Amino acid sequence: MYAIALVCLGNICRSPMAHVVLEARLHDAGLDDQVAVASSGTGGWHTGEAMDSRAAKVLSGHSYDPSRHVAEHFTTDWYAEHDLILAMDDSNYADIIDLAPTVAEQSKVRMFRDFDPEATAGDNEVPDPWYGGREGFERVLAMIERTTDGLIAQIPDLINPA
Ligand code: 4NP
């Protein structure tokens, strides 16, 4: 299995939403037997908790199932267990890089929105919706769905690099 890790700060909003959407779309694409998905947060405060209720509500409203999420904490061990580690924002990226066991393994880390066709050099983060209202979570979901489609299209090349 090709293993993808999605990482944000708390693992209760952004990376869990991306986790649910990516799993659903891998299933729809018939790729769920080739790609495994996990998510975690660089901060451990919410470990063991369910998804943020606002994130869950927005996912449910778009026919996704948020109910199985249990928050995990990103540690150095995640490098050995995953082929591709995708950071939601620049600060997550820096924190993940700091935990790399070797410099070579840092190449596993990319920005999630590297796969968003609408991302630009100055707009390549998934903003933290934690302090905002429902509107912010809806915007984040649209960004995640668009990026996930871009990621799904790249899966064959990721699994079998030229
Ligand atoms: P997330 O959002 O990184 O998208 O899961 C956050 C959730 C919780 C906190 C920060 C961000 N927090 O500080 O507890």
pLDDT in tens, 18-77: 999 999 999 999 999 999 999 999 999 999 999 999 999 999 999 999 999 999 999 999
Given a contact cutoff of 8 angstroms between Cβ atoms, the answer to whether 158 and 84 are in contact is yes
What is the rounded CA–CA span in Å between residue 46 and residue 33? 29
Give tens-digit pLDDT for 119-136.
Answer: 999 999 999 999 988 999
Residue 79 has pLDDT above 90, yes or no: yes
pLDDT for 117 equals 97
Q: For the domain that residue 17 is a member of, what is the CATH number?
A: 3.40.50.2300
Of the pLDDT bands very low, low, confident and very high (cuts 50, 70, 90), residue 161 is: confident
Domain with 61 in it: 2-159
The predicted-structure confidence for 85-118, as pLDDT tens digits, reads as follows: 999 999 999 999 999 999 999 999 999 999 999 9
Any residues with CB less than 8 A from the CB of 130 and at least 6 apart, and which?
10, 13, 52
Contact of 144 with 64, CB cutoff 8 Å: no
Of all protein residues, whose CA lies closest to atom 12 belonging to ligand 1? 10
Sign of the dihedral defined by the CA atoms of residues 51, 53, 55, 59, in that order: positive
Q: What is the dihedral of CA 7, 8, 14, 16, to 10 degrees?
A: 40
- Mutation pick for ligand 1 pocket among 12, 70, 144 (CB with most ligand atoms within 8 Å): 12
**Alpha carbon distance 70, 12 (integer Å):** 8
pLDDT at 49: 98
Which residues, judged by CB distance below 6 Å to any ligand atom, belong to the binding site of ligand 1?
8-14, 41, 45, 128, 130
Number of compact structural domains in the chain: 1
Give me the pLDDT at residue 162, please: 82
Q: How far is the CA of 10 from the centre of ligand 1 (A)?
A: 4
